[in-house]
Amino acid sequence: MLNIKPIFSSLLRSKSGPVLLLVQIILSVAIVANASFIIHERLELMQRDSGINEEEVLTFSVFNFDPSIDIEQQNKIDQQILRGLPNVQAATSTNMLPLSGSGWSSTLNLGPDPETAKSTPQFAMYLGTEHTVKTLGLKLIEGRNFYADEINKSVNDPGKLAIISKAFGEAVWPGESAIGKLLYIDDEQLEVIGVVEKFQGAWVDSDELEYSVIHNVDFAGYSYMVRAEPGQHEALQDAITKALMKENPNRVIDDFQSVAEVKKRSYRDHELMITVLSMMVVLLLLITSLGLTGMVMFNIQRRTKQIGTRRALGATKGDILSLFLVENYLICLSGGVLGASLAVLLGQQLMKYYDLPQLNLLYPLMTVVGMMLVTTVAVVLPARKAANISPAMATRSV
């Protein structure tokens, strides 16, 4: 009774509704597949491990206005005060904040002659002390940390040392240990003494996000980082402000924020994109299911006598339900195949013009499966109503 040919012929007798629904499914599959892929890709970017204990690290800025202040000496005093505060596990000065979208970046050479030496990839250039690794919660996997007597006052001082991220080391010396390797700033050497497992830079959309280098320089600027339990941050802000202002009142302490908050702000555009695309996916699926429900209800009214005749000839309620489901699957499968092809073509254009990765074919496939499930639900309710029509009611004349 449910041969494909008569069902297909029935669809062709009223082409406008099925054709419009077919076009809608094609567009929905193409858009939903690519939107879902972009959502997943953005979520993966946002969930990348930064290597930092983001919730525990509190950052802030100190703005000095007294010209008589010895900035270098004041920097050392301030760090001692910070490390002496209750609940502070570690504290350090810094020249830039991780994942903030701004900071220092550089390249180095693998030889003393910049004319012939190969350059490293671009990396985030952090200036830090022997307390930086502990403050950020970085995991040292090879080599050692800086010693206190190795910390320089300026990037121009001799005795340049570096702690690098594992990703940077693998990019520069693939398959080799980075410990003891030398990098060059013109003809000056910089020795790698330590490697941390992960340490991201400031620019979350950069291909070099995982490449970071910490120089042994106590940067006497205006940015500081302290590590404390997340629940202590609010009280710690007041304690830091009071302690530093007590030592020197001619300045402003401001911009308190955790690294987690800095990261959230940097990924705000990604989060907005995910929200918009998610709403679009839900809306497209809802419109498609409503369109299919409307078409089925229209067919029920148009084919009431046909349904009654089938029931009178022995068709069961299950047969009537199957009739509408098979019609739905014919439209969905046809639209799904065409929509998946369109999704691949659309994905290629997005890859070409917007630097997105290639669309995984699993997404069009899963979208078609999801569309089948959604439309099945949309068809079942009105189809059950049609199956309950009695032959006497359906075939009587008005």
For the stretch 262-309, pLDDT in tens is 999 999 999 999 999 999 999 988 888 887 777 777 766 666 666 667
Average pLDDT for 324-330: 80
> For 46-55, 205-214, 252-261, 378-387, which range has the lowest pLDDT when averaged over its residues?
378-387
Q: How confident is the prediction for the chain on average, in pLDDT?
A: 87
**Quick one: pLDDT at residue 394?**
52
Q: What distances in angstroms separate CA 246 from CA 32, 58, 228, 241, 251, one per listed residue?
A: 58, 20, 21, 8, 10
**Quick one: pLDDT at residue 398?**
42
Helix (H, G, I), strand (E, B) or coil at 161: strand
> For 45-49, 101-105, 210-214, 283-287, which range has the lowest pLDDT when averaged over its residues?
283-287
- Given a contact cutoff of 8 angstroms between Cβ atoms, the answer to whether 92 and 227 are in contact is no
> For 28-42, 202-216, 228-242, 326-340, which range has the lowest pLDDT when averaged over its residues?
326-340
**Quick one: pLDDT at residue 352?**
78
Euclidean distance between CA atoms 375 and 382, whole angstroms? 12
What is the percentage of the chain residues whose pLDDT exceeds 70? Answer: 88
**Quick one: pLDDT at residue 1?**
43
- The secondary element (H helix, E strand) that includes residue 34 is helix 16-46
> For 175-184, 208-217, 244-253, 374-383, which range has the lowest pLDDT when averaged over its residues?
374-383
In the chain, the largest separation of any two C-alpha atoms, in whole Å, equals: 103
Average pLDDT for 59-79: 91
Phi first, then psi: give them for residue 82, nearest 5 degrees. Answer: -60, -40
Q: Are strands 160-165 and 140-143 parallel, antiparallel or unpaired?
A: unpaired
Residue 317 confidence (pLDDT) above 80: no
Which pLDDT band holds residue 36 (cuts at 50, 70, 90)?
Answer: very high
**Quick one: pLDDT at residue 95?**
95
**Quick one: pLDDT at residue 261?**
96
The burial of 219, by beta-carbon neighbours within 10 Å (0-12 exposed, 13-18 middle, 19 or more buried), is given as: buried
> For 171-185, 224-238, 289-303, 337-351, which range has the lowest pLDDT when averaged over its residues?
289-303
Which residue in the block uniquely carries the two structure tokens 């291909």? 207
Euclidean distance between CA atoms 330 and 262, whole angstroms? 50
Highest mean pLDDT among 72-76, 319-323, 347-351, 358-362: 72-76
∠ CA 33-35-41, rounded to 5°: 105
**Quick one: pLDDT at residue 225?**
97
Average pLDDT for 236-245: 95
Helices (H), 185-316: 233-247, 259-266, 268-302, 304-312
Average pLDDT for 22-45: 90
pLDDT tens-place string over residues 123-182: 999 999 999 999 999 999 999 999 999 999 998 899 999 999 999 999 999 999 999 999
> For 69-78, 137-146, 321-330, which range has the lowest pLDDT when averaged over its residues?
321-330
- Given a contact cutoff of 8 angstroms between Cβ atoms, the answer to whether 223 and 85 are in contact is no
**Quick one: pLDDT at residue 264?**
95
Q: Where are the domains of the chain?
A: 4-47+268-395, 57-266
